[in-house]
């Protein structure tokens, strides 16, 4: 076994214990590996304590996740915990009851030449990484079922409560158990989100311009440019709501779905149910929410300030917005400044800004926005996320009831173009419900859908203007052969599922 480099080890994701399938083809695949390599050692019999879930079912989870990772990106590794404390079989987040038996299964798979492994340690800060050997890959290549046969476990928990955390992105924040009685809205939120996930699961969501359903996304880590592979497929659509700091009033945003991981230039090309889409977002949502909570109308473009450092107006506005959003989430100026610099590209002028210069920018923003100046650097972000989570919930509930899929990226929403007018109205209504009638400007660019064009034509029949030219704003992309193949395969799979 060749030892992996640090960079290769970091190209990984945690073991997903929620992928499942009850299709006969999948069960036959798992059974053949179980019989050939595992049954003699792991078949349960005799006395002693037995796990809640048979080792064979736990092996199924391991094999399916290894297969998905390999199919998505042959270089992608899986991080696994190799301590008994990593597996809490009775946790609400472990619906398949994965236990410490998983450790024994991994070790045995290594001995049998099915898995390669590089053991992690505290000094490296990395968990153990595993990946399939050539022997297992050869078995994968003979599989006669597609990834559509795999999905998230039916009873997977969709409402997540995390431990204490200073920021939304703190990796140390872990899911904690709770009781549904802790917060009366939990059962309603869970049922709504389950219906939403069911709708997403039966909807084909893809990008027609992609021959292969993969996007490579560049990102910076420790001063180095790296590339992350994002799989655009039908097994990466599961959405959850995540709350923070053991508090149901903090967080609550919708997380999940591959569309949240890609750039807006790719998002505009998304087709839902083989229909072109458009995206609308709330302009400066969190700043506007702060104004709204004080029953005040925001100033015109709160991020547009007088020239400070001989910057181009648009470039300066970009820096101001980035800094302010960090400051809304931060507990102190120092933390806001550091968070701002961390997000700037290596070598950029903004990366070199000192605290003194960033304080000038922040003070100028406060001077233009005195109404909300006291909210800056006071840890408001996680509370505002609770509001925008409720807004998103209102929108998804409305459209799910109508069997219309809508995709959220926190404060922006993607929908099929025939429903743009309905989305705009509902976005206004959802904010008004949270802020006592206050409205936030919707930034829609040139986005306009068929429903609105038809409405304009009906309202203006007398003038007989050429509204047909407005159809040019409805996006249309050439569909690749690969996209059409994925679409037809999805349709066939759905038809087989309904039989």
Separation in Å, CA 66 to CA 61, 73, 152, 308: 9, 11, 15, 52
Residue 116 lies in domain:
1-154
Instruction: Specify if 59 maps to a domain.
Output: yes
Instruction: Specify if 6 maps to a domain.
Output: yes
With residue 28 as reference, give the H or E element that holds it: helix 24-33
Instruction: Specify if 84 maps to a domain.
Output: yes
Residue 386 has pLDDT above 90, yes or no: yes
Nearest to 336 by CA among 346, 326, 345, 349: 326
Q: Domain tally for the chain?
A: 2
Share of the chain above pLDDT 90, in %: 58
pLDDT for 226: 77
Instruction: Specify if 407 maps to a domain.
Output: no
| pTM assigned to the model | 0.86
Instruction: Specify if 387 maps to a domain.
Output: no
Instruction: Specify if 226 maps to a domain.
Output: no
Instruction: Specify if 363 maps to a domain.
Output: yes
Pairing mode of beta strands 77-80, 128-132: antiparallel
Boundary-marking domain end, from 368, 399, 416:
368
Cβ atoms of 244 and 387 within 8 Å: the answer is no
Boundary-marking domain end, from 116, 135, 154:
154
pLDDT for 170: 47
pLDDT for 454: 58
Cβ atoms of 355 and 384 within 8 Å: the answer is no
CA distance linking residue 431 with residue 285, whole number of Å: 10
pLDDT for 166: 46
Cβ atoms of 276 and 475 within 8 Å: the answer is yes
Task: Tell me the per-residue pLDDT of 418-466, one tens digit each, with 9 for 90 and over.
Answer: 998 899 999 999 999 998 888 777 765 556 666 665 555 555 544 555 5
Separation in Å, CA 373 to CA 164, 365, 377: 26, 8, 9
Cβ atoms of 22 and 137 within 8 Å: the answer is no
Boundary-marking domain end, from 154, 180, 205:
154
Instruction: Specify if 42 maps to a domain.
Output: yes
């Amino acid at each position: 076994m060749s030892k992996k480099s640090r960079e290769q080890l970091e190209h990984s994701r945690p073991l997903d214990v929620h992928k499942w399938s009850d299709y006969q083809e999948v069960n036959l695949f798992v059974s053949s590996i179980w019989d050939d390599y595992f049954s003699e050692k792991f078949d349960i019999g005799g006395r002693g304590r037995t796990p809640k879930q048979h080792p064979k079912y736990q092996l199924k989870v391991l094999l399916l996740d290894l297969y998905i990772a390999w199919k998505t990106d042959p270089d992608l590794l899986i991080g696994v915990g190799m301590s008994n404390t990593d597996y809490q079989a009775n946790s609400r987040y472990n619906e398949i009851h994965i236990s410490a038996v998983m450790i024994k299964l991994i070790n045995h798979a290594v001995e049998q030449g099915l898995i390669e492994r590089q053991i992690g340690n505290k000094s490296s800060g990395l968990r153990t990484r595993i990946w399939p050997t050539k022997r297992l890959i050869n078995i994968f290549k003979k599989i006669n079922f597609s990834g559509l046969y795999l999905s998230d476990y039916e009873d997977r928990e969709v409402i997540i409560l995390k431990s204490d955390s200073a920021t939304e992105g703190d990796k140390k924040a872990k899911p904690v158990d709770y009781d549904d009685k802790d917060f009366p809205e939990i059962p309603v939120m869970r049922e709504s989100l389950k219906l939403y996930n069911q709708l997403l699961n039966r909807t084909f969501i893809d990008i027609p311009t992609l021959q292969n359903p993969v996007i490579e996304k560049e990102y910076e880590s420790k001063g180095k440019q790296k590339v992350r592979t994002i799989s655009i497929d039908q097994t990466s659509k599961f959405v959850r709501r995540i709350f923070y700091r053991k508090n149901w009033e903090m967080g609550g945003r919708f997380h999940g779905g591959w569309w949240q991981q890609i750039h807006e230039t790719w998002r505009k090309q998304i087709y839902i149910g083989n229909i072109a889409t458009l995206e609308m977002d709330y302009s400066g949502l969190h700043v506007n929410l702060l104004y709204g909570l004080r029953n005040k109308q925001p100033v015109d473009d709160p991020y547009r300030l007088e020239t400070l450092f001989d910057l181009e107006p648009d470039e300066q506005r970009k820096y101001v917005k980035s800094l302010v959003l960090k400051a809304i989430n931060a507990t102190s100026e120092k933390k806001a400044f550091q968070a701002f610099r961390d997000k700037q590209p290596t070598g950029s002028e903004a990366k070199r800004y000192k605290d003194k210069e960033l304080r000038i920018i922040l003070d100028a923003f406060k001077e233009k926005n005195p109404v909300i100046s006291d909210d800056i650097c006071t840890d408001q972000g996680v509370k505002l996320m609770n509001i925008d989570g409720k807004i998103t919930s209102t929108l998804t509930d409305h459209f799910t009831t109508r069997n219309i899929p809508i995709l959220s990226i926190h404060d922006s929403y993607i929908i099929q173009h025939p429903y743009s007018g309905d989305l705009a109205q509902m976005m206004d209504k959802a904010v008004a419900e949270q802020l006592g009638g206050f409205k936030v400007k919707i930034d829609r660019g040139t986005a306009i859908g068929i429903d609105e064009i038809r409405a304009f034509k009906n309202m203006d029949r007398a003038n007989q203007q050429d509204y047909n030219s407005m159809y040019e704003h409805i996006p249309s992309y050439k569909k690749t052969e690969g996209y059409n193949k994925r679409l037809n395969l999805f349709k066939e799979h759905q038809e087989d599922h309904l039989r």
